[in-house]
Chain A
Amino acid sequence: MIGYRVERATRESRWFAAFLLLCLAALAALPYWGGPGAMRLVSEMAYYLALAQLWNLLAGYAGLVSVGQQAYVGIGGYALFYLTSEFGVHPLVALALAGPIAAAISLLVALAVFRLRGAYFAVGTWVFAETFQLGVSLIQPLGAGSGLSLTPAIVREIAPDRAGRELIVYWLSLVIVVFVCAVVYLTLRSRHGLALTAIRDSEPGSASLGVDNFRTKLMIYVVTAACTGVVGAFIFLEKLRISPEAGFSVNDWTVVVIFIVVIGGIGTLEGPFIGLLIYFGLRELLADYGSWYLILLGVVAVAIMLTAQEGLWGLVARRFNLHLFSVRRHLTRLPGG
């Protein structure tokens, strides 16, 4: 009798995992071989990568194209500022609490917005984000139009001196991006991930097999919102200041994220990494030319959507049959009989 085993890891994915660990170790040690400028850049890349993986999970896997995730970035940020200033919560605890708060609000949003489909869902999420922005700008305890700052007292709770704070905030960015990537990766490996792929391929088909489309999508939406809230809280912890415009900015938290995912490869875990490098590369390259890098990004994204929907990574993966993250299952034959 021939035996088979369902496996997930491939040779490439094992090598890649080792490579990732090496990179992570090198980045963790960055404070000792790079300067504060490098640390700030890497932590910015870290939170953009986190946002990109989350948007990719939502749009590329669950098929929920949201143009309103900036709502949860802002909610996370404001949760951090409010909890620390009003309730004296430690900033890192407040950061963690931003997750459940964003999750709770996302449930209410879903109540309304899940009645819409496709592009109407997308614009609906955007309306919500705009509503939150306008609402916050009218609430005095949240700083109204001018926003809030983290007081020196709160800031010192992270670490007593500036260098210590920079270190902790930097490592926190790495922890968060690893955490978010792990959440996305594990979700895709779980049966929910399999359900998502089925839903993505055919909603009636998956429903006929007993997959609860609505609950799966809702779960993904809420989990994504929670993680986005935590990332948002981190972003504004680093910036030390939040305002309605900055917290809920569609340009900063959605346009860039969408471009990163689309150019890199929507619906793949590897794609956002590629997209991230291209975005930051272009931004550095065209730094002196105003918003031309955004125009160029837009043109590239449109071109990719029209010609190679799977993005740059998708092209590579298809050509070389390469999958670096082991989310798919395949059969391997067991040795012997």
Chain B
Amino acid sequence: MDWLNILIQGALLGGLYALFAIGLSLSFGIMRLVNIAHGDLIVLSAYIALVTINATGLGAIASLVVVVPAMCAVGYALQRGLLNLTLSGGLLPPLLVTFGISVIIENVLLELFGADIQRLHAGTIETASLQLGGIAVGAYPLVVFATAVAAIAGLQILFYRTALGRAFRATSDDAETAELMGIDNRHLYAVAMAIAMIFTALAGVLMAIRTTFDPAAGPIRLIFAFEAVIIGGLGSLWGTLLGGMVLGLAQAVGAALSPTWQILAGHIAFLIILVLRPSGFFPRTRD
């Protein structure tokens, strides 16, 4: 049992899970909205990539040129047109509306594409490997991990070094007073969702190169994202990366014992942490 290899694989898998989780984290941090449809939006991105590839012959990674703007538009419209309306109604509307949207997306995809399992192909990078200090590390997982790190670093710069980032933090603190500063909440929330969709689109395409997907693949992605966020601690993006890595590690260990244990091992690790340390490793936001 090549444990070192397993651990490295698991840690790198955390990069993908962190990418899943960024969108969820942003939307909760800025708007206090847990988007139950988040996993389905990741899968939607993968399908948009599929359609783009079939229509234009672009490669999988190149298709991001279409997928990212498309998902940004979807996110902006969804937030501005629907989700903004749920924010003032209490606990039930955001939850049940995003739940309804999740079911709608899943079934529309089912009607349009059928239940067939799909996959995107990116060519040689899928199987390439690098030698790092004598160990063979998959090039693709490394790329995904690096993307996650770059994404989080970029977001940290956005939040702490730009006027827009200040506006996000202020609105998250006190939306009404932020309006007095000239910040249009409805537009800002929609922009936040659009930004979240950039990473959702990335996550969807990168995932689809690595694993198969079908219309029903959304919920489990939501759960992975959710587990990464909770393990890492609400409100901290670097914590989410760590949470993703813990999840990835648990899954890699489980998979090494037996392939059918992979996802279950992740759930068990999550539940243990939930019972022992419910605020995660790097909690920052008060709920």
Residues of A within 8 A of B (CB): 59, 63, 65, 67, 111-113, 115-120, 122-124, 126-128, 130-131, 134-135, 137-138, 250, 255, 258-259, 262, 266, 290-292, 294-295, 297-299, 301-302, 305-306, 309
Residue of B nearest to A123 (CB): B226
B94 A302 Cβ-Cβ under 8 A: no
Also in contact, A306 and B97, with CB within 8 A (given A117-B287, A120-B230, A134-B264): yes
A126 B34 Cβ-Cβ under 8 A: no
B96 at the interface (CB under 8 A from A): yes
* Cα–Cα distance between A255 and B220 once the two chains are bound (Å): 15
- Tally of contact residues, B, Cβ under 8 A: 41
Which has the most chain A C-beta neighbours within 10 Å: B94, B103, B107, B226?
Answer: B103
B96 A292 Cβ-Cβ under 8 A: no
Interchain residue pairs with CB less than 8 A apart (12): A118-B34, A126-B223, A127-B223, A127-B271, A130-B223, A258-B99, A290-B111, A291-B111, A298-B103, A298-B104, A299-B100, A306-B85
Q: What residues of B have a CB within 8 angstroms of the CB of A291 in the complex?
A: 107, 110-111
* Cα–Cα distance between A222 and B74 once the two chains are bound (Å): 40
Q: What residues of B have a CB within 8 angstroms of the CB of A63 in the complex?
A: 91
Pick the residue among B95, B100, B107 that contacts A119 (CB under 8 A).
B95
B111 A306 Cβ-Cβ under 8 A: no
- Binary per-residue interface labels of chain B (66-109) against chain A in the complex, 1 for a CB within 8 Å, 0 otherwise: 00000000000000001001100101111111011101100110
Within 8 A of A (CB), among B222-262: 222-223, 226-227, 230, 260-261
* Cα–Cα distance between A295 and B112 once the two chains are bound (Å): 12
* Cα–Cα distance between A117 and B103 once the two chains are bound (Å): 23
What 6 A-B pairs have minimum CB-CB distances, sorted nearest first?
A119-B34, A302-B100, A298-B104, A134-B264, A115-B278, A291-B107
Nearest Cβ in chain A — how far from B193, in angstroms? Answer: 16
Residue of B nearest to A115 (CB): B278
Q: What residues of B have a CB within 8 angstroms of the CB of A111 in the complex?
A: 275
Pick the residue among B92, B104, B226, B275 that contacts A309 (CB under 8 A).
B92
* Cα–Cα distance between A238 and B135 once the two chains are bound (Å): 56
Also in contact, A65 and B93, with CB within 8 A (given A130-B267, A294-B103, A301-B100): no
- Binary per-residue interface labels of chain B (206-232) against chain A in the complex, 1 for a CB within 8 Å, 0 otherwise: 000000000000011011001100100
Q: What residues of B have a CB within 8 angstroms of the CB of A301 in the complex?
A: 96, 100
* Cα–Cα distance between A118 and B86 once the two chains are bound (Å): 14
B274 at the interface (CB under 8 A from A): yes
Pick the residue among A135, A262, A302 that contacts B82 (CB under 8 A).
A302
Other 8 A-B pairs with CB < 8 A, given A259-B100, A306-B85, A309-B89:
A65-B95, A65-B96, A118-B95, A122-B36, A130-B267, A255-B103, A295-B111, A298-B101
Pick the residue among A65, A116, A135, A306 that contacts B264 (CB under 8 A).
A135
Within 8 A of A (CB), among B94-152: 94-97, 99-101, 103-104, 107-108, 110-111
* Cα–Cα distance between A301 and B92 once the two chains are bound (Å): 12
Which has the most chain A C-beta neighbours within 10 Å: B91, B230, B275, B278?
Answer: B91
Nearest Cβ in chain B — how far from A337, in angstroms? Answer: 45
Residue of B nearest to A135 (CB): B264
* Cα–Cα distance between A138 and B103 once the two chains are bound (Å): 28
Nearest Cβ in chain B — how far from A37, in angstroms? Answer: 27
B274 A115 Cβ-Cβ under 8 A: yes
- Binary per-residue interface labels of chain B (37-58) against chain A in the complex, 1 for a CB within 8 Å, 0 otherwise: 0000000000000000000000
Q: What residues of B have a CB within 8 angstroms of the CB of A126 in the complex?
A: 219, 223
B168 at the interface (CB under 8 A from A): no
* Cα–Cα distance between A269 and B28 once the two chains are bound (Å): 32
Q: What residues of A have a CB within 8 angstroms of the CB of B260 in the complex?
A: 137-138
* Cα–Cα distance between A261 and B92 once the two chains are bound (Å): 12
Also in contact, A305 and B275, with CB within 8 A (given A131-B268, A134-B264): no
Q: What residues of A have a CB within 8 angstroms of the CB of B85 in the complex?
A: 306
Nearest Cβ in chain B — how far from A108, in angstroms? Answer: 10
B108 A295 Cβ-Cβ under 8 A: yes
Pick the residue among B89, B101, B110, B261 that contacts A302 (CB under 8 A).
B101
* Cα–Cα distance between A35 and B100 once the two chains are bound (Å): 35
Pick the residue among A120, A297, A299, A309 that contacts B34 (CB under 8 A).
A120
B263 at the interface (CB under 8 A from A): yes
Also in contact, A305 and B111, with CB within 8 A (given A123-B34, A127-B226): no
* Cα–Cα distance between A122 and B102 once the two chains are bound (Å): 14
* Cα–Cα distance between A255 and B37 once the two chains are bound (Å): 13
